Amino acid sequence: MSLREATLIRLSTLTQKWLNIKKPPRRGRRFDQNVVRKATPNSLVLANKNGPILVSPFNQGILRVYLQSVRHREAWWEQNSWAVDLANINRDGWRLEQAEDATLAFTLADGLQASFSVAAPAGLISYRIGPDLVLTAPLPPQTTKQWLLVDKRLPRPGGVRVFGLGENTPPMDKAGQRVVMWNTDNSAYRVGDTPLYKSLPVAVFQYIDGPALGLVFDNPGYAEFDFSADGKRLLYSVNDTELSYYLLLGPSLPEVMRQLTTLTGNTAPLPKWAFGYQQSRWSYAPSARLREIAAEFRNRDIPCDVLYLDIDYMDRYKCFTWGEGFADSQDLIRELHRHGFKIVVILNPGIKTEPGYHAYDSGVSRGVFVTDRNGKTAAKKVWPGSCYFPDFLNNSVGEWWAELIRDFAASGVDGIWCDMNEPSTFDCRRTLPPDVQHRLTDGTTFPHGRVHNVYSLMMCRATHAGLQENTRLPYVITRSTYLGGQQFAATWTGDNASDWDHFKAGIPMLLNLGLSGQPVTGPDIGGFRGTPSPELYERWILQGALYPYCRTHTSRGTGDQEPWSFGEKVEASARRAIKLRYRLVPYLYSLAYEAAQTGQPIMRPIFFHTPTAETLKPEYYETEFLLGPCLLVAPLMSPGSTRTYHLPPGQWYSWWCRKGRQGGQTYQTRPDEDTDLPLFVRENTAIPLYPDPLSHIPGRSLPSLELFITVTGKTEGLIVDYFDRDSLLAYAVKAAVRNGHLEISVDLIRKGDVPVEYQPPETLHFLLNHRLQQVEFGSSYRSHSVVPDPATDPWTRITVTGPAFPLRAVLS
């Protein structure tokens, strides 16, 4: 990128911020001097001259507070939400106790009593865990003509960290920061910039050696979070006069994530190939170039599952079309499918205003586009030129878009890449004006400024619905989204830069996205803007190969950025890292199932299960991460060949040399044992692996499966081979040390209509952290072997051929 181009982009960014960023008031009229208008076991309604406050249990461990200013005539958020299913109410376990103050009580997962006290006259709500006051309001909610303000304070003694808030750059702890919720195409974002592409208004508070809790604010208009320097006070401001917010009681991070999933919905099941390596650039064109890239991956023995087509595959950038360079698109897709590649194509929301273009004609005839305040269809320039924008908030418009997706994907396209959907435009504001009108199916109208952040979510929902007409496992990847977006799409972190700062920003950004409900996410490996040095790309691919979403992508005008583009040394490192990823695909896929069921992030901060003073140090949690509960990755974040890392409490084993290391301590990596990709396995875990890395992930079960088991006491886990919303093929694994013996069981779980291609393995391999010599089976099998592991003593390898399930074995 030239200096002139960089300067123009920066000036455009500053202009965009000047037009879109708002300054909220610091105070307003208070929701105080309340009287109790209604008090039932289900809700408490306070009335005052400025507007009602509704306090009500929402579900297990979730409390809802709804605010509406009298300045707002029509209440919409009270009974509606695009992110939260307000019919998903379960108040079992809650109790409303009448005393001097009304108190709502609930028993947490660990048996502690949680309680909310509502001081009706003052409009203040306080939250306790046991006897400890954890959250309170120093002031009641406040309102102005255009804003609502919510003030919260954490009075509990002890240090606290503030995480979540979606896509934001380091530092990961948001204490002392202001974070803006306004989906923005910040194409030249720097570390420290706000806002960015996504708005995920989820604040997670984690005490050192203490509880965790969450606050979720459901309003898709412009909003700001302003945290005190110690993280113990939050002022939330939203440019609206109606708001629902929710308190997630915790008291642990896994419980907070479970509650967040209950609130905002389950993560969409993804095809297993989505966890393979993915390659992209702006753009691989014409089609011959994409064939060359595909052939290089196979010839160089580098696994790859997905190739992307950026905007140059289209006819003059018009969505749902193929350009001259892809006149053979049908042959191209069939050929790449034969070689094991999936094709994901980009789509933008802007539809070119061109009579005769089918998407434009059908959209105009069905009245699907947003209008200005005078009812005229609003036009803005994007890649094709003048464009109209679908009103995705209207259900009938979503159905129209889903039909276009269905017909386009019927050509063999495997997934859709939603871009420019903040929505982004080519003018000074860089998005739709705030007075553009949205009309819902029931006739309700909203100015764009009130619902801006939900636009991308609704595009993803319609896209997902269209793909579902052709496959039970739709694949959607999106740049922009809102609360609850995990139900429809995976995400990436937008147009990052090819520099060390953006490389280091990757881990904290992905961790905060995971803590905000987005479990499948990753950055553009190597950086989108610019060309990385060979050393930087090598570092990036080594750790990026273990991100939930693993894609290399780069901009137009940059150097080649395929794994072989930086010389033989880097290519060898990339091949090794990507092959490791492919061995781990069964584990990653099982974590995806857990994320879909309970909201647990695939990529987790090292304090996720043990929030100690050491794990809550930024030098560790911003540079290390957990993959699920079992693996810890401590990548080399700078040009040096070693680093200092911290292991959470418990026993750990080096992945490469398998030597044990005691947790709760800090170590220096050892290049001869830990290699340039330090990776550690927690005790009492069972990690499923493919025995050998593949060139791509087939749409069927493999004939063999390996279980990497580190058991010192007992462990159990679920290994998932296939799942969708209705079906499951999995294996429940248990292992325990008892009376000097090791007992192992593997049970088959099959639910729903599992595709016939998915069947139990013909061979099971066990790698165990014990010296074993014999095995006695309590179930049938064809043959078995027990051999010392050639790499490490005292580990043992056991192979069972033709196992019958349930499998039972005693080893000694």
Which residues are part of the catalytic machinery?
419, 422, 495
Measured in degrees and rounded to the nearest 5, phi and psi for residue 387 equal -135, 150
CA torsion, ordered 24, 29, 33, 38, to nearest 10 deg: -60
| Bond before 171 cis per omega within 30 degrees | yes
Measured in degrees and rounded to the nearest 5, phi and psi for residue 591 equal -65, -35
Separation CA 88–CA 31 (nearest Å): 28
Q: Name, in order, each residue with C-beta under 8 angstroms of 602's C-beta and a sequence gap of 6 or more.
A: 514, 519, 520, 548, 588, 591, 592, 595, 627, 628
Helix 395-409 / helix 358-366 crossing angle, nearest 10 deg:
160
Residue among 322, 369, 803, 301 nearest 578 (CA): 301
* Lookup: tokens for 384: 């094709």
User: With b meaning 16 or more CB within 10 Å and e meaning fewer, what string describes 242-264?
Assistant: bbbbbbbbbbbbbbbbbbbbbbb
Residue pair 377/390 in contact by the 8 Å Cβ criterion: no
Residue with the two structure tokens 């605010």 = 67
Residue pair 607/626 in contact by the 8 Å Cβ criterion: no
Residue among 748, 755, 760 nearest 702 (CA): 760
CB-based contacts of 784-787 (< 8 A; 24+ apart in sequence): 786/811
CA torsion, ordered 489, 495, 498, 504, to nearest 10 deg: -60
Cα radius of gyration rounded to whole Å, the chain: 27
DSSP letter at 325 equals: G
* Lookup: tokens for 633: 């990755």
Separation CA 104–CA 42 (nearest Å): 10
Residue pair 798/804 in contact by the 8 Å Cβ criterion: no
Separation CA 39–CA 25 (nearest Å): 32
Separation CA 636–CA 546 (nearest Å): 13
> In which region does residue 245 sit, left (phi positive, over 0), alpha (psi from -120 to 50) or beta (all else)?
beta
Separation CA 433–CA 18 (nearest Å): 14
Determine the distance from the C-alpha atom of residue 398 to the mean position of all C-alpha atoms in its chain, rounded to a whole number. Answer: 23
Separation CA 90–CA 334 (nearest Å): 49
* Lookup: tokens for 327: 């006149």
Q: Name, in order, each residue with C-beta under 8 angstroms of 409's C-beta and a sequence gap of 6 or more.
A: 416, 466, 467, 469, 470
Helix 568-598 / helix 534-544 crossing angle, nearest 10 deg:
30
The dihedral sign for the CA sequence 460, 461, 466, 467: positive
Separation CA 504–CA 623 (nearest Å): 8
Separation CA 530–CA 774 (nearest Å): 57
